[in-house]
Amino acid sequence: MNPPNQPKVLYQEANPYGSFTAFLEDDGRTIYLYLQSHNNPEWPMKSLWIRNLIDAPEERDPDDFRKGLAPVHTKKETNTVHALPSLKEEEIHFIWSEEGDAVALFVNEELYAYLPPWSGIKGVHGYSKEAKEDAAAASPLGDVNNGVIAERVKESRKFWETVSEKNHWNKLQTLRLNFLEERLGKHEKYWSADGGKYPSLGIASFLPKEFPGIKIFSTIGMSAQNQPSVELYHKNFEDYARIELVFAIKLSNEYEDHSESWIQHVLGEMIKFPWNTGIWFGHSHTIQNPRKDPDQLYLDFNWFVLKNVTDELDKDPSLPYPKLNGLISENGRRVNYLFLVPISVEERICFQREGSPKFWETWTKEGFSFFHESERRMLEF
């Protein structure tokens, strides 16, 4: 076998969130599709075999692995046993998933391969038109027009076409802001939170009459697109994939209101986190607090634990929470409002040791609710 050429990138493209890059690489023997994260060093690079550029061998050369060469597919594993030509940039087109962590490859407008969100799990790399059977680095793609994968890609295409429509942001912003104002009253302030880049996002604050002395901040726009990775953990993932983050705080009767010196900044720093990292937000997830509460007294609130108030209200409408349930997103699925609950390092250790049910049982038993109290003392487990 001739020695492989110096690998060259045939085409590369970042997802619309600017957080993952997919690229096609030709090493003279094969073409592979790779997907890598820009921001999450713990997110492993994904790979998918696309085609052989040499005649398929009967067996793989065991020495290829030692040389660090990408695996070729053997005669029994590929639909085309003879060498195929490389690809030209003008032949190549990508369609990203709504979540931004999966990508479909089109060659001359035909679906040719799909690198899914579950690539790298249980030995699955992805799906290629040239794959004849499950093999070292690809599985069969199936029907490129009507198969399961094809339908997923059609949904992705439809999503991005909708995003590009005129007044898309105005419509979804209005839907979410109107919903919040129905539940919390007219918003006090509004901040743009997207930095001029996709997706469009905002933050609004409220002083609900139903909860005097409580100030509520909510993101607006996170729920316009699914979070990545949720389907890897939830069977009914679409019921949990769309979220907004909420921070409620009890204002002091004695001190000046400092909430706007830090809370909208907390939300602003978290608002793109799922799409930037491929890590999703859900009930009882914990995340580090990037800002200090200027009014904290007894505890350093270095962490947050997330509380899905929407899910709890759907199960028990009598709970004494703001009625942030019932909003349906553009995809026909519910929007989940996740409240950020500040906790200390010690409380997080107890949370991890005792488990989520025990933590929330203790939280409720000690009289705490959906809002943050800067001067509260530590939970006693």
Tell me what the mean pLDDT of segment 128-134 comes to: 97
How many CB atoms are closer than 10 A to CB 140? 17
145 and 174 part of one domain = no
Residue 72 CA to residue 64 CA, distance in Å, equals 9
Regarding whether 125 and 172 lie in a shared domain, the answer is no
Last residue of a domain, one of 162, 187, 213: 162
**376 belongs to a structural domain:** no
Kindly provide the b/e burial profile for residues 338-358, where b requires at least 16 CB atoms within 10 angstroms of the residue's own CB. bbbbbbbeebbebbeeeeeee
How does 42-68 read in b/e, with b if 16+ C-beta sit within 10 Å?
A: ebeebbbbbbbbeebeeebeeebeeee
pLDDT in tens, 322-379: 999 999 999 999 999 999 999 999 999 999 999 999 999 999 999 999 999 999 999 9
**Domain presence at residue 370:** no
Using the structure block, give the residue that is written with the tokens 């429509």: 165
Same domain, 297 and 339: yes
111 or 254: which carries more pLDDT confidence?
Answer: 111
Give the Cα separation of 268 and 129 in Å (integer).
Answer: 42
- The answer to whether residues 195 and 333 belong to one domain is yes
Residue 127, pLDDT score: 98
Number of domains in the chain: 2
Residue 297 exposed, middle or buried by CB count within 10 Å (0-12, 13-18, 19+): exposed
Q: Which of 97, 131, 162 is the last residue of a domain?
A: 162
β-bridge pairing 189-192 and 202-206: antiparallel
Question: Span 13-32, mean pLDDT?
Answer: 98
SS (H, E, C) 265-286: HHHHHHCCHHHHHCCCCCCCCE
Same domain, 130 and 63: yes
Q: Does some domain include residue 374?
A: no
Percent of the chain with pLDDT over 70: 99
- 249 CB contacts (<8 Å, ≥6 apart)? 214, 215, 216, 217, 259, 263, 371, 372, 374
**pTM of the model as a whole:** 0.95
Tokens 């000690």 appear where? 366
CA–CA separation, 266 and 217 (whole Å): 10
Which domain covers residue 87, as residue numbers? 8-162
Report whether pLDDT(34) > 60.
Answer: yes
In a domain, 377, yes or no: no
pLDDT at 4: 57
> In sequence order, which ranges of 207-282 are alpha helices (DSSP H)?
263-270, 273-277
Distance CA 95, CA 109 (A): 11
What's residue 2's pLDDT?
44
Cα–Cα distance for residue pair 221/201, rounded to 1 Å: 5
Q: What is the pLDDT of residues 219-266, one digit of tens each?
A: 999 999 999 999 999 989 999 999 999 999 999 888 899 999 999 999
Report the relative pairing of strands 46-52 and 92-96 from DSSP bridges. Answer: unpaired
Asked whether residue 190 falls in the same domain as residue 287, the answer is yes
Same domain, 185 and 290: yes
Kindly state whether residues 153 and 171 are assigned to the same domain. Answer: no
Residues 185 and 303 in one domain: yes
CA gap 163, 181 in Å, rounded:
24
Q: How many Cβ atoms sit within 10 Å of the Cβ of residue 255?
A: 11
Q: Which of 339, 337, 325 is nearest to 372 (CA)?
A: 339
Q: Is 212 among the domain residues?
A: yes
Regarding whether 105 and 69 lie in a shared domain, the answer is: yes
**Final residue of a structural domain among 162, 193, 214:** 162
Residue 1 has pLDDT above 50, yes or no: no
Same domain, 186 and 331: yes
Half-sphere exposure of residue 197, counting CA atoms within 13 Å on the CB side? 10
Does the residue 378 lie in any domain?
no
Rounded to the nearest 10°, the torsion over CA 373, 374, 376, 377 is: 140
Q: Which of 138, 50, 53, 157 is nearest to 97 (CA)?
A: 157
Is 64's pLDDT higher than 90? Answer: no
Residue 372 forms part of a structural domain: no
194 and 151 within one domain: no
- Would you say residue 3 lies in a domain? no
What is the rounded average pLDDT for all residues in the chain?
96
Question: How far out from the chain centre does Cα 279 lie?
Answer: 5
Place of tokens 């929330």: 360
pLDDT value at residue 255: 84
